[in-house]
Amino acid sequence: MNLEQAARQLESIGSPTRLAIYRTLVRAGHAGLPVGHLQERLGIAASTLSHHLRRLIDAELVTQERQATTLICRANYPAMNTLIGYLADECCADEGCSKTAAQAETAD
């Protein structure tokens, strides 16, 4: 992952409404949720939901799949894990501690 992609994804969840949508989809699991159920759970207008979903889809954090007449939304878990990893991978890298020293501290 590069800096621009991480920034784009973080920006996409920077809105309270989009973050609520995303968290709801993450909680829903791999089955996802139909758009109508997502709208009911969050209590937002269909046009508002559509706008915010488009931003999350464009950032590759959410996917949509049509099943007959139903549109299913899902969190893109690999993308989420990549973003989380990008944020955590270099934790304390400039501190000069080794993994062994960091693990010893957490064991205490």
78-85: long-range contacts (C-beta < 8 A, 24 or more apart)? 79/9, 80/26, 82/1, 83/1, 83/6, 83/9, 83/10, 85/1
- pLDDT of 65 reads 97
In 3-state terms, what secondary structure has residue 75?
strand
Check residue 79 and give its pLDDT: 97
Cα Rg of the chain, angstroms: 17
What is the structure's pLDDT at 102?
53
What's the pTM?
0.83
Domains of the chain: 3-107 (1.10.10.10)
pLDDT tens for each residue of the chain, 108 residues long: 999 999 999 999 999 999 999 999 999 999 999 999 999 999 999 999 999 999 999 999 999 999 999 999 999 999 999 999 999 998 888 887 555 555 555 555
